């Protein structure tokens, strides 16, 4: 993988979406392959994006009463074995530590594929009385799920994520928490990432190994494939019974606790690229952009000093308004080269300052989303650029929502379903009879899965028949092929 060469040029999305994606991720310096099979390196620009995403999520977690903590990386096999469905789901993907400190271990240890097992084994000591509840904890961590085929951010053996793990006194409270965190994700995706997402419930066959119910936010990428952007699980008492998390309730009886877990990962960086990117590279929503405005001088011999000075003043004025600014003042790269670089990196606004601008007291402001240019007097520039942050953010969400809606269809019958899923793909609404059999057959024939039973529009209407079996429908669901 390290032997893969950088492409000479980025293919268009139309031409080869998958190649376009990988090239964009690599040329924008978000991430790259490494000599370690299955693992990527997240480069500073990509990590800067993740830091901003993390901070915006973390703020929301804290506002909803959660605290961060850190639990062990290694999980003894016997812990994983305690919850039967859980081990069945994760064992095939585990990396195992068998030796440490020069000796073979008595029991092999998994690198956490997710932390329910290790965290529950610790929570059991923390929970004794109803007074100890709720426990509202989140962890920012690396996890590992062995993968043979890797795709940067979307599928790698190791990735970064956050995982919330909460414990409650009642099922009602736990369900409320599960849904609250789904809303947190939905709001984060729309507000910060400008990614429209659909909330819904997973089917039995698609839910998290060990959960009672899994809820999700599903987004649609530009190539018509769905991306699961986040999940929130109501674990019921499955883990509390397996791990012995019980408490003495106010009524003096001993009860098993109710739990949730919820997470999003660095795959969201991939979702960002595939939602907003265009044939010139990334387009990063201002609210999470590591660099919101980049200044590029058009040097002319003798004017380097005055140009740098003018840019310095404008940059300081923007920083005072809370804008994250980069001054690209190097003299050994041509302006055109810099324009291309910052377009690939998707910086929301570029400000060009040349010799004529010194004379006229003006600048040229270029939006990355629409690539529109405006020539503005210095006096107006700051205010316009500050406003552009909101405008670009709103425009990216609008564009993405329109693209998603334009590629959401309701096939009239099974033939049209098959035709659509092979063609433009996208989200397909269809009535479902609620059986795992139908779901499996459709997956087999088309590779499409039920992404979710949406909260909005998921109820079957009188007379609805399953698109495949023709049986009476229980729900209207969203099908798609997915990442």
* 81 is an interface residue for its own copies by CB under 8 A: no
* Residue position matching structure tokens 């109820």: 459
Measured CA to CA, the distance from residue 214 to residue 238 in angstroms comes to 13
* 356 is an interface residue for its own copies by CB under 8 A: no
* 30 is an interface residue for its own copies by CB under 8 A: no
- Residue 375's Cα: distance from chain center in Å? 36
* Category of 109 on φ-ψ map: left (φ > 0), alpha (ψ -120 to 50) or beta: beta
Which residue, 94 or 353, is less far from its own copies as judged by CB?
Answer: 94
132's CB contacts (< 8 A; 6+ apart) are 126, 247
* 18 is an interface residue for its own copies by CB under 8 A: no
* 100 is an interface residue for its own copies by CB under 8 A: yes
Note the residue count of the chain: 483
* Category of 242 on φ-ψ map: left (φ > 0), alpha (ψ -120 to 50) or beta: alpha
178's CB contacts (< 8 A; 6+ apart) are 213, 215, 232, 233, 234, 260, 262
Site for its own copies in 303-332 (CB under 8 A): 332
Q: Which two tokens stand for residue 160?
A: 């970064």
* 402 is an interface residue for its own copies by CB under 8 A: no
| Span of 64-72, 226-234, 434-442, 446-454 interacting with its own copies by CB under 8 A | 64-72
Nearest distance in Å: CB 352, its own copies: 23
Which residue, 153 or 427, is less far from its own copies as judged by CB?
Answer: 153
Nearest distance in Å: CB 252, its own copies: 16
Binds its own copies by CB under 8 A, chosen from 102, 305, 322, 463: 102
Look at residues 177, 182, 185 and name the one whose alpha carbon lies nearest to residue 136. 177
Site for its own copies in 32-51 (CB under 8 A): 32, 34-36, 39-44, 47-48, 50-51
Which residue, 330 or 424, is less far from its own copies as judged by CB?
Answer: 330
Binds its own copies by CB under 8 A, chosen from 22, 87, 94, 450: 94
Which residue, 130 or 414, is less far from its own copies as judged by CB?
Answer: 130
Contact of 33 with 2, CB cutoff 8 Å: yes
Using CB under 8 A, count the residues that bind its own copies: 56
Site for its own copies in 405-464 (CB under 8 A): none
Measured CA to CA, the distance from residue 28 to residue 153 in angstroms comes to 13
* 65 is an interface residue for its own copies by CB under 8 A: no
| Span of 87-95, 206-214, 411-419, 455-463 interacting with its own copies by CB under 8 A | 87-95
CA distances from 178 to 185, 191, 281 (A): 11, 20, 36
163's CB contacts (< 8 A; 6+ apart) are 114, 115, 138, 139, 141, 143, 261, 262, 263
- Residue 438's Cα: distance from chain center in Å? 29
Look at residues 130, 28, 117, 40 and name the one whose alpha carbon lies nearest to residue 79. 117
* SS3 of residue 360 by DSSP: helix
Look at residues 375, 316, 326, 330 and name the one whose alpha carbon lies nearest to residue 346. 326
* 377 is an interface residue for its own copies by CB under 8 A: no
Site for its own copies in 110-149 (CB under 8 A): 111, 118, 121-122, 125, 131, 137, 141-142, 144, 146-148
| Span of 89-97, 174-182, 228-236, 346-354 interacting with its own copies by CB under 8 A | 89-97
* 79 is an interface residue for its own copies by CB under 8 A: yes
* 64 is an interface residue for its own copies by CB under 8 A: no
Residues that bind its own copies (CB under 8 A): 2, 32, 34-36, 39-44, 47-48, 50-51, 67-76, 79, 92-102, 108-109, 111, 118, 121-122, 125, 131, 137, 141-142, 144, 146-148, 157-158, 160, 332
């Amino acid at each position: 993988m390290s032997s893969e060469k950088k492409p000479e040029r980025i293919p268009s999305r139309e031409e080869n979406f998958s190649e376009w994606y990988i090239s964009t991720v690599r040329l924008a310096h978000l991430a790259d392959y490494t000599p370690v099979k299955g693992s990527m390196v997240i480069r500073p620009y990509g990590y800067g994006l993740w830091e901003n995403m993390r901070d915006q999520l973390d703020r929301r977690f804290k506002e909803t009463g959660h605290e961060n903590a850190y639990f062990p990386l290694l999980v003894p096999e016997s812990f994983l074995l305690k919850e039967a469905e859980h081990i069945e789901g994760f064992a095939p993907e585990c990396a195992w530590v068998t030796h440490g400190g020069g000796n073979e271990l008595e029991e092999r240890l998994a690198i956490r594929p997710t932390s329910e097992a290790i965290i529950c084994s610790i929570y059991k000591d923390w929970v004794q009385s109803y007074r100890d509840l709720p426990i509202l904890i989140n962890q920012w961590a690396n996890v590992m799920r062995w993968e043979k085929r890797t795709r940067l951010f979307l599928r790698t053996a190791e990735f970064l994520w956050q995982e919330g793990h909460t414990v409650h006194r009642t099922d009602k409270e736990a369900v409320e928490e599960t849904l609250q965190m789904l809303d947190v994700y939905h709001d984060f995706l729309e507000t910060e990432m400008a990614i429209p997402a659909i909330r819904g419930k997973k089917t039995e066959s698609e839910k998290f190994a060990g959960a009672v119910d899994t809820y999700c936010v599903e987004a649609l990428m530009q190539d018509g494939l769905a991306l699961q952007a986040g999940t929130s699980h109501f674990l019921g008492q499955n883990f509390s019974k397996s791990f012995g998390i019980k408490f003495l309730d106010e009524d003096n009886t001993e009860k098993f606790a109710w739990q949730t877990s919820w997470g999003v990962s660095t795959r969201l960086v991939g979702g960002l690229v595939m939602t907003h990117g265009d044939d010139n590279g990334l387009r990063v929503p201002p609210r999470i952009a590591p660099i919101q405005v980049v200044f590029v001088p058009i040097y002319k011999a003798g004017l380097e000093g005055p140009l740098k000075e003018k840019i310095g003043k404008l940059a300081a004025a923007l920083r005072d308004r809370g804008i994250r600014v980069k001054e690209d003042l190097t003299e050994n790269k041509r302006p055109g080269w810099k324009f291309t670089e910052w377009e690939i990196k998707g910086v929301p606004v570029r400000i060009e300052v040349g010799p004529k601008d010194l004379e006229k007291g003006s600048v040229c402001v270029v939006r990355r989303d629409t690539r529109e240019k405006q020539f503005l007097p210095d006096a107006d520039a700051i205010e316009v650029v500050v406003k552009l942050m909101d405008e670009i953010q709103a425009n990216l969400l609008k564009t993405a929502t329109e693209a998603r809606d334009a590629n959401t269809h309701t096939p009239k019958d099974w033939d049209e379903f098959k035709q659509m899923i092979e063609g433009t793909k996208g989200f397909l609404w269809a009535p479902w009879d609620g059986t795992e059999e139908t779901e499996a057959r459709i997956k087999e024939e088309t590779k499409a899965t039920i992404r979710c039973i949406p909260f909005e529009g998921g109820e079957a209407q009188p007379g609805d028949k399953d698109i495949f079996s023709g049986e009476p429908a229980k729900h209207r669901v969203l099908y798609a092929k997915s990442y």
